[in-house]
Structures are given as structure tokens and as C-alpha cells.
Amino acid sequence: MSIRQVTLQTISEQLRARWESVPYWTPEEASFAFNEALRTWNMLTGTWKRKVVFGIPAYEHWISVPGTILYSTRVSYLERPLDLSSIFDLDNGRQDWESEFTSSGGRVPTTPRKWAPAGLDLMVIWPALHFCATLTVDGVADTPQLVLDTDFVDLENSEHSALLGFALHVAAFKEGGTRWETTFRYHKEFLLAAGDRNARMKSSKFFRRYMGLDFARDQHKMREPQVAQIAQGVSG
């Protein structure tokens, strides 16, 4: 794994060099395009991470996540990870979950066991603690944004190439037409590189369909059910 430090000035020069003719975008638009590539990359791969420890109030199921985290990926209490759930599963599997606390007794656990995302900066825990405590949240941090020519970001070589290609795709949208359509290969190369970093995204049905990875499977005619074959034989 080779990582290098790349400045905004270098990136702007590389974008101009990769375009066949005179670039039609301004330096500000080039900066916007690359920063957009960085934000999209972070959204898909969670490259920039952060861990925060913060206090939560007693008897509160709905917890606000500190603004330094874009979205949470792991929640722990007393160094024990909570199981990931969803609002839908909690509502349907345990309808009274919002009235259950670690002091409720009976079959309610005495420590939080589940968490579920409720928004980019909001989550829920079950059961809620009956006293003030702290949670540890691992999540995706703010994406670094390059404004000055001397601003820099650390990138792997493969990431660097994919990000430049996606930035060209964004910048080419200004011109549109055939020139923009030719940059769609950069967009796909970017998504493939992101998929290599994020196995969950790469295995998703949406990703595979968009990339055309299941084309052969979609073209394959499924065998008819045996019952239908028998019925056809009888009718014949």
C-alpha cells in the first residue's frame, strides 16, 4: 500500500493534464469537482473515521450524535459493542421498547443491548439507561476539503487515480453532450474502486445491477417449475 500527500495545486495540474484539449473550467470549479469526489468517496467507503466518547442523559432512548461524526458505524457501552438493529425491527419486534429501561426488571436487560440509526446525527438505544453514562461511537468523520493550493490530503495511488477520474466526470458535466458521456467510464472506475474498499457496497444488488455485473444472470431463462411442466404435458 503506497500512500502519498497530494496538494490541491497538484490535483488541479493533473486534472488539466488529463483533459485532451484546453480545460473549460475555472480553478474554483476544479476544486469543487475534486472536493465532490472526496465527499462521495467518503460516503461510499468511510475512509475518514473518528471515535468519540460522550455523555448521555438518563431515561433517554433517542440520542443525539456529536456533529464531528457524519454517521455512526459502531456503538459501544462499557467497551461492549451493541447489536445493530433498526427502528422498524424495534417497533415490530418489541412494541414497548420506548418504555423499557435498564431498571425495568423482568426480561429487560440491565445494560443496553441494541442501537439503531435514526438519522445522520440521531440514534436510539435499547433499553435506555436509568442513569447518566457515556457511550463510545465509531463513525465516519467529516471529509477533508481542499480550499488553498497548499491544502493536502493523503491518498493511496489507486484512490488517487479514481478520485481524479470522478472529478473529471463532475467537471465535464458543465459541457455536457458527448464529451460528458465519455467520462462515464471514469464514474464506473470510481465505483469499482470504492467497491474494493467496501465489500458490503460491492455485494449490494443495486451496485451489481448498475455496474452490469448481473447482466448474464438476468439474461438466463429460469427453468419452469415442475408443476407447470406436468400441467403442460397433461394439456398436450
Domain final residue pick, 141, 166, 194: 141
Residues 113 and 154 in one domain: no
Q: What is the pLDDT of residues 12-71, one digit of tens each?
A: 999 888 876 677 788 899 999 999 999 999 988 888 988 999 999 999 999 998 877 878
Q: What is the pLDDT of residues 118-142, one digit of tens each?
A: 988 899 999 999 999 999 999 888 8
Higher pLDDT, 176 or 130: 130
Give a yes or no: residue 235 inside a domain. no
Residue pair 115/124 in contact by the 8 Å Cβ criterion: yes
Residues 59 and 69 in one domain: yes
Residue keyed to cell 442513569: 131
Q: What is the pLDDT of residues 80-126, one digit of tens each?
A: 999 999 999 999 999 899 999 999 999 999 999 999 999 888 999 99
What Å distances lie between residue 211 and 31, 191, 201, CA to CA? 27, 8, 12
Mean pLDDT of all residues in 71-81: 91
Entry pTM? 0.71
78: alpha, beta or left? (left if phi > 0; alpha if psi -120 to 50): left
Residues 83 and 110 in one domain: yes
Residues 154 and 181 in one domain: yes
Higher pLDDT, 218 or 97: 97
The pLDDT score that the predictor gives to residue 205 is: 67
CA-based Rg of the chain, rounded to a whole angstrom?
A: 25
Q: Which of 173, 197, 175 is nearest to 186 (CA)?
A: 173
The pLDDT score that the predictor gives to residue 218 is: 47
Query: Residue 90 sits in which domain range?
Result: 49-141
Q: pLDDT class for 176, splitting at 50, 70, 90?
A: confident
Q: Which of 142, 98, 143 is nearest to 116 (CA)?
A: 98
The pLDDT score that the predictor gives to residue 2 is: 76
Give a yes or no: residue 103 inside a domain. yes
Backbone φ and ψ of 128, nearest 5°: -70, 145
| Dist. CA 126–CA 108, nearest whole Å | 9
Give a yes or no: residue 94 inside a domain. yes
Residue pair 130/58 in contact by the 8 Å Cβ criterion: yes
Residue pair 211/196 in contact by the 8 Å Cβ criterion: no
Number of domains into which the chain is organized = 2
Residues 29 and 60 in one domain: no
